[in-house]
Structures are given as structure tokens and as C-alpha cells.
């Protein structure tokens, strides 16, 4: 049983709390006994969100053992970060917690407590200029959906809290449970850690019926040729009909969709520490590294080598701690 305490405060963003709560609740139903969820606040009872809807929270005072501390963000985060009682609670929990995480501007609370000094972190893109000025000791990476530095996890704005929760669930219970949780939530299982525009799945209009299974097939067979004719045949359509219907439903031509999914898979592999750019290029169906480099530049604006260098620097820093 992993105890997860979600810290909220007056003016918190309701989805920052509700999104992760829903993800952990579903994962707990898939694997009974995995999680115990607890809302906490310095001022217990009904805590109003920025929308005016309140959630009931227990007092932070007296809470001790915790596996994961998760801090919501929202309009009230500045007051929460300035609250000495809140900071003392976060520091106390962080000493023994296996993981400490924030959603959106909840990173302000961690930064104000000094827990992110010298660490990589992200937050909501609207807050990044101010965050960088206020916390120069934090190595802010504003182009991330979520990231991990040691036991500290931070995430970007609002819906990224669900991406963060799915990543934590995958770490705890495995990829299959995380994927099933995402399916129940009707969200995509994995977005890469970069900006949302780097996510092929986010850029695509969400398939309703016709091509959902086909895209699942593509993701599982990226090494194959996957030409328009091949995909049309699998969909039992002529190439012309297939291209027209696919573009109308998915929001992009089939070839571009395949390329985007290959880039996303390659980026995820590189961020996970894959040993070789050439190996990733082969595994993801590019054929060779130069073709993958051109696709990366066209879709993400950065070459695979830049992703690889960032991962190498991260792993080197980890080996020194």
C-alpha cells in the first residue's frame, strides 16, 4: 500500500487535484491495495478551489509516513509557498518520502522550500519567466511536460498532472497498468517529456472509431514499411479513400502521422537512455540516422543528438550524487 498525500490550499486548481486522484483511483481498482489517497491542507476541512468548488482535506499537522507527496498548483500557490507552516510540512514529508512531486505551479512550493535548488524542474509555461527570476538556483526546463530529478518530479500546466500520475503509476505498477488506466481515463498513455507540440498523439485529432485500431497497429509495428497502400489495405479501403478519410478524422495525412509517431517513439527511447541513435533509428522505422535527424528537425525543431546529449548529462549528474 503506497500512501499518497495530495497537498491543496485555498485557490488550488481543481484539475491539478482531480486528474491525479482519478488516475490513482483507477490504478488502485486495477491493482487493489496499491494506493491510499489522502487530501491534506494546513487549514483542514472544506478547501475552496479557484473555481469555488471545495474539496475536504485533513490537517497536515500530525501526518507522518508517506510514500509520495504531491502538491497541486493554482492561483493560490503564491500564498501557499509563502506560508511557513506549509513549507515546514513539505520539508518534513520530503525527508522520508520516496517521491515528492508537483503539478503545474505547485513547483513554487517546492522551490520556495529550497527543495529544487540545483535540480531540473518545470512548471506551467505562463509562469516560467517569473519562476526563473524568483528561483535562479533551479535549473528550469520550460519545454517539458514533466520531468524527474532524483526523487523530485515536476510537471507543466494542469492536464500534465495526469501525464505525471500515469508516469508514477507506471513506475509503481508497470506499463500495462498505466496503459489500462489511461484507456479508462480516455487519455493517451504516454506523451514524451518535451513540449506538447512535440507529442504526435496530442497533435492528432483523437480518432473516434475508424482509425483508432490502425494507429495502435502503427505504434506497435514502427519497424515495418507502413506505406499508404499498406495502411489502406489494412483498413479495407482504396488508397485514395483511405487518405481522404484518415486526414478528415485524424487531422493529418497518413504519411505525416506515421512520421510523427516514429519521432515520438524515438524521442521517448532516447529520453529513456537508449544506447545508440542508429539503433533507435532502425527500431523506429527510419532506416538510418540521417533520415531520423531530418524528421526530428521538421517536427520538433531539434536533432536526436541534442536529446541524447541532455540524457547523457542527466545520467552523468546522477552518477556523481
Name the catalytic one among 31, 83, 104, 284: 104
Q: 214 CB contacts (<8 Å, ≥6 apart)?
A: 231, 234, 235
CB atoms closer than 10 angstroms to residue 45: 11
Sign of the CA dihedral with 92 first, then 97, 99, and 102 last: negative
Measuring CA to CA, which residue among 273, 308, 314, 272 is closest to residue 289?
Answer: 308
H/E segment holding residue 148: strand 146-149
Question: How far is 293 from 306, CA to CA, in rounded Å?
Answer: 10
In the chain, % helix, strand, coil (3-state, to 5) comes to 50, 15, 35
Question: Catalytic site residue 104?
Answer: yes
Quick one: cell of 124?
506551467
Active site residues: 104
Amino acid at each position: 500500500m503506497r500512501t499518497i498525500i495530495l497537498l491543496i490550499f485555498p485557490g488550488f486548481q481543481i484539475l491539478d487535484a482531480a486528474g491525479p486522484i482519478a488516475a490513482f483511483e483507477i490504478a488502485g481498482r486495477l491493482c487493489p491495495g496499491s494506493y491510499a489517497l489522502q487530501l491534506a491542507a494546513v487549514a483542514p476541512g472544506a478547501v475552496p478551489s479557484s473555481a469555488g468548488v471545495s474539496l475536504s482535506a485533513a490537517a497536515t499537522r500530525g501526518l507522518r509516513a508517506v510514500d509520495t507527496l504531491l502538491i497541486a498548483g493554482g492561483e493560490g500557490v503564491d500564498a501557499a509557498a509563502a506560508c511557513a507552516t506549509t513549507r515546514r510540512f513539505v520539508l518534513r514529508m520530503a525527508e522520508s518520502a520516496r517521491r515528492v512531486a508537483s503539478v503545474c505551479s505547485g513547483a513554487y512550493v517546492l522551490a520556495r522550500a529550497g527543495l529544487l535548488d540545483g535540480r531540473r524542474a518545470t512548471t506551467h509555461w505562463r509562469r516560467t519567466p517569473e519562476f526563473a527570476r524568483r528561483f535562479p538556483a533551479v535549473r528550469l526546463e520550460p519545454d517539458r511536460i514533466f520531468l524527474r530529478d532524483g526523487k523530485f518530479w515536476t510537471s507543466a500546466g494542469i492536464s500534465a498532472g495526469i501525464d505525471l500520475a500515469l508516469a508514477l503509476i507506471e513506475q509503481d505498477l508497470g506499463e500495462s497498468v498505466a496503459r489500462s488506466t489511461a484507456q479508462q481515463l480516455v487519455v493517451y498513455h504516454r506523451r514524451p517529456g518535451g513540449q506538447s507540440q512535440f507529442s504526435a498523439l496530442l497533435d492528432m485529432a483523437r480518432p473516434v472509431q475508424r482509425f483508432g485500431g490502425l494507429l495502435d497497429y502503427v505504434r506497435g509495428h514502427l519497424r515495418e514499411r507502413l506505406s499508404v497502400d499498406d495502411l489502406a489495405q489494412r483498413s479495407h479501403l482504396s488508397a485514395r479513400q483511405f487518405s481522404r478519410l484518415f486526414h478528415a478524422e485524424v487531422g493529418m495525412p497518413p504519411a505525416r502521422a506515421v512520421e510523427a509517431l516514429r519521432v515520438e517513439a524515438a524521442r521517448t527511447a532516447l529520453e529513456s537512455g537508449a544506447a545508440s541513435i542508429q539503433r533507435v533509428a532502425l527500431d523506429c522505422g527510419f532506416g538510418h540516422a540521417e533520415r531520423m535527424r531530418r524528421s526530428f528537425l521538421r517536427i520538433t525543431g531539434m536533432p536526436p543528438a541534442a536529446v541524447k546529449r541532455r540524457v547523457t548529462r542527466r545520467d552523468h549528474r546522477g552518477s556523481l550524487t
